[in-house]
Amino acid sequence: MKKILLVYNPMSGNAAFKNCLDGVIENFQRRGIFLSVYRTCAGDNSNFAECVKMSGAQGVIAAGGDGTLHAVINWLKQNDFDLPVGIIGSGTSNDFAAHLQLDAEKFFDAVANNRTRPVDLGLANGKDYFINVASAGVFTSIAHEVDSRLKNFLGKSAYYLRGLGELKNFRAVPLDITADGQNFSTEAFLFLVLNSPSVAGFKKLSAAAQIDDGKLNLLALKKCSPRNLMALAKKILAGDTIDDDENIFALQAANFTISTTAALTGDLDGEAGDPLPLKIQTLKHVLNFFCP
């Protein structure tokens, strides 16, 4: 019988995944899969590696949002586990799951039949992995500043409400960027380094970003007028890609170094990272992801 470890965050989304747990177990058992369960906590999860070993898991499924998937991947990689990973999107923000457009029944079948695809990861400062996005600047730290109770009650609206409070801090900063050995400079409100094109609930922010091409895509929102900013926001809300917008500085590369004279802290998949500078590498096909 195949063994899978399910890692679930009891606080993700509307904190209701625990009510779905029996159905998830039934779906796996019906496909001949024995499920072990690990419940994350807000504090110490240092026993995760021991639980993976004891479970004899042949794969790990994260049930939660982007932050839960981020944590699971880092725990696995930092403990040298080479196991396929999957996601049951149950968080406030499920950008990576949304990009994959996972159908529930087909996803369970994929896990049972060990159907995976190789995907890239980003590595920040040689120690922190991210699967979807690294960022810094205005708005980018909102995900870990919003109270979990507010997120559970309001969902994505909590991010937007919190974002309104950042308008007073809307200031551009100078960025020095090295991309695969080439040097660039720009002044920007924020930057995103994307693995997938899905960010902040917008499913196709970048036309160029792909999760398995061995490269990452940098989009920096350049200093611009309020009028241009509103025009760009309109494009984003309409679901348009913005790589070629005049207010966006766009680069594609396997390796980036991003620095600034301003005090900025990086953000990885919605989780707090290191202060800049950030040194980011693309690790091609280092993770097998359960996918129909």
- What's the DSSP call for residue 199? B
> How does strand 133-137 pair with strand 265-268?
antiparallel
Which helix (H) or strand (E) segment holds residue 85: the answer is strand 85-89
Residue with tokens 């922010």, as numbered in its chain: 205
Cis peptide before 292 (omega within 30 of 0): no
| Strand partners of residue 83 | none
List of E strands, 93-154? 116-124, 128-130, 133-137
Find all residues with CB under 8 Å of 122, minimum gap 6, and list them. 129, 130, 131, 134, 193, 195, 216, 268, 280, 281, 282, 283
Give yes or no: 271 in active site: yes
Among 130, 134, 135, which residue's Cα sits nearest to residue 287? 130
Find all residues with CB under 8 Å of 83, minimum gap 6, and list them. 52, 57, 58, 59, 60, 76
In whole angstroms, give the CA distance from residue 48 to residue 55: 10
Give, in degrees to the nearest 5, the angle at Cα 6 between 126 and 24: 145
| Token pair listed for 225 | 């007028």
CB-count burial class (<10 Å; 0-12, 13-18, 19+) for 279: middle
Name the residues annotated as catalytic.
271
